[in-house]
Structure 1
Amino acid sequence: MTLLEIFSAPIASGAQTFILIVCILIGLGAGISLIDVKNTSEPKEK
């Protein structure tokens, strides 16, 4: 099942929102952890 099929499916209004929220959360988590790694690795280099 492709993303296009999921988003164009008639049942998908709830699933769309769920997938969107999950993607946003994953993106935020990745961004935060990336910033965290940068902040923690900088003092060690100095």
Structure 2
Amino acid sequence: MATTIEQQTALDESLVHGTQRLRIGKSNFRLPSDIQSKEATLQV
């Protein structure tokens, strides 16, 4: 079943009200480079 972007948007709007939707945008957040970790890898 192939849906177009418009159909998917309408379906999304009917399932989740616009005020309840989580807005995800671009961010310029950077981690400080001097973080000391006890583990071999740092999980974010």
TM-score when normalising by structure 2: 0.32
Instruction: Name which structure has the greater RCO, CA cutoff 8 Å, separation 6+.
Output: 1
TM-score, length basis structure 1: 0.31
Max radius of gyration: which structure?
A: 2
Q: Give the structure with the higher percent helix.
A: 1
